[in-house]
């Protein structure tokens, strides 16, 4: 699938995500909008997957470590055929499989349960190590938030991945510069992220994570060492009044804002 098609799909996912959050009256829309281009590239171009066999042992693995943006993953998985698209309407409803954080025992395509930050990368290191030990060709991708990288568990995993020489592991840091309550720079600043990962023995690419033409080649890069993509993104990308505004971490649009946001997301749909 070509970048143009991927952009169109990403836009459709943004619209469905916005609708789901609006209708459920809850969600984490800012971090969903920043991540959706990368999720789209992964699920519609990069990952080797069989939606009708979600546990096929040869599948590539993807772990959404920033599990609070589950809704974007649900919409992407539904669009890719892992679950019925109309099930998105049950997001957060009583007894729905689609709660606020992804559950691998209920939702096909989810690999491990996330929600507490700082869990996905260690699990992904285990997955990549398993593939390597068995000489398997499947790859492991994991996406963390940038605020999430403040958790020490990530840095333990980063050391392990380098030590194990996990060339089959790609970490994407959704570097949208904001966490829950404030900008990273006003909380516990990690930037610049690149030299830290390089010092730990990783290959690092730095890209615009909201530009498909940069996202796809970065995800397809192969090397001998674990690879970190520092994806510069905008929290709330695509919706002007949400972009780079910390309160949109988990705010929900009102009816008027919803209309404006939908209109803005429609404009780019060719």
Ligand X SMILES: Cc1ncc(C[n+]2csc(CCOP(=O)(O)OP(=O)(O)O)c2C)c(N)n1
List interacting residues with Mg ion (CB under 5 A).
145-147, 176, 178
Residues 6+ apart with CB under 8 A from 125: 157, 160, 161, 164, 166, 169
Does 37 engage in binding with ligand X (CB under 6 A)?
no
Min CB(30)–Mg ion separation in Å: 8
Min CB(142)–another protein separation in Å: 17
Distance CA 107, CA 114 (A): 13
Cis peptide before 159 (omega within 30 of 0): no
Min CB(187)–another protein separation in Å: 5
Min CB(254)–ligand X separation in Å: 21
User: Helices in 140-236 by DSSP H: which ranges?
Assistant: 152-163, 193-199, 212-220
Can you read off the two tokens belonging to residue 198?
Answer: 């390089």
Min CB(228)–another protein separation in Å: 18
- Scanning 43-51, 123-131, 176-184, 257-265 for contacts with ligand X by CB under 6 A, the matching segment is 176-184
Does 17 engage in binding with ligand X (CB under 6 A)?
no
Summarize as ranges the residues that interact with another protein (CB under 8 A). Answer: 24, 26, 67-68, 92-101, 103, 113-118, 147-148, 150-152, 179-182, 187-188
Residues 6+ apart with CB under 8 A from 65: 114, 117, 118, 119, 120, 121, 124, 142, 143, 144, 145, 148
Min CB(4)–another protein separation in Å: 36
248 binds, among ligand X, another protein, Mg ion, none (CB under 5 to 8 A by kind): none
Q: Which is nearer to Mg ion, 166 or 229 (CB)?
A: 229
DSSP one-letter string for 214-253: HHHHHHH---SS-EEEEEE--TTTT-TTTTT-GGGGT---
The answer to whether 155 touches 19, Cβ cutoff 8 Å, is no
Can you read off the two tokens belonging to residue 171?
Answer: 């970490």
Does 210 engage in binding with ligand X (CB under 6 A)?
no
Distance CA 132, CA 21 (A): 39
Distance CA 93, CA 100 (A): 10
Sign of the four-CA dihedral 193, 246, 239, 28:
positive
94 binds, among Mg ion, another protein, ligand X, none (CB under 5 to 8 A by kind): another protein
Residue nearest to ligand X (CB): 145
Write out the binding residues for ligand X, residues 138-157 only, by CB under 6 A.
145-148
Q: Which is nearer to ligand X, 154 or 168 (CB)?
A: 154
Q: Which is nearer to another protein, 92 or 211 (CB)?
A: 92
Which positions touch ligand X (CB under 6 A)?
Answer: 28, 30-31, 34, 66, 68, 115-118, 145-148, 174, 176, 178-180, 235, 249
């Amino acid at each position: 699938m070509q970048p143009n098609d991927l952009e169109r799909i990403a836009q459709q996912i943004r619209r469905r995500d916005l609708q789901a959050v609006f209708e459920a009256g809850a969600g984490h829309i800012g971090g969903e909008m920043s991540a959706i281009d990368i999720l789209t590239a992964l699920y519609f171009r990069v990952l080797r997957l069989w939606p009708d066999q979600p546990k096929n042992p040869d599948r590539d693995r993807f772990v959404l470590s920033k599990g609070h943006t589950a809704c974007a993953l649900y919409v992407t998985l539904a669009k890719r055929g892992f679950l019925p698209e109309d099930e998105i309407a049950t997001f957060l409803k009583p007894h729905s499989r689609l709660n606020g954080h992804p559950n691998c025992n209920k939702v096909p395509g989810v690999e491990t349960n996330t929600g507490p930050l700082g869990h996905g990368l260690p699990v992904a290191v285990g997955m990549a190590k398993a593939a390597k030990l068995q000489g398997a060709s499947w790859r492991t991708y994991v996406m963390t938030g940038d605020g999430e990288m403040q958790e020490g568990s990530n840095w333990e995993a980063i050391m392990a991945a380098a030590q194990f020489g996990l060339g089959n592991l790609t970490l994407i840091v959704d570097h949208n510069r904001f966490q829950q309550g404030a900008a990273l720079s006003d909380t516990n600043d990690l930037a610049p992220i690149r030299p830290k990962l390089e010092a730990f023995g990783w290959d690092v690419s730095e890209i615009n994570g909201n530009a498909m033409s940069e996202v796809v080649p970065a995800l397809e890069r192969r090397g001998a060492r674990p690879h970190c993509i520092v994806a510069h993104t905008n929290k709330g990308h695509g919706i002007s009044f949400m972009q780079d505004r910390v309160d949109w971490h988990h705010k929900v649009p009102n009816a008027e804002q919803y209309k404006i946001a939908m209109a803005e997301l429609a404009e780019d749909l060719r």
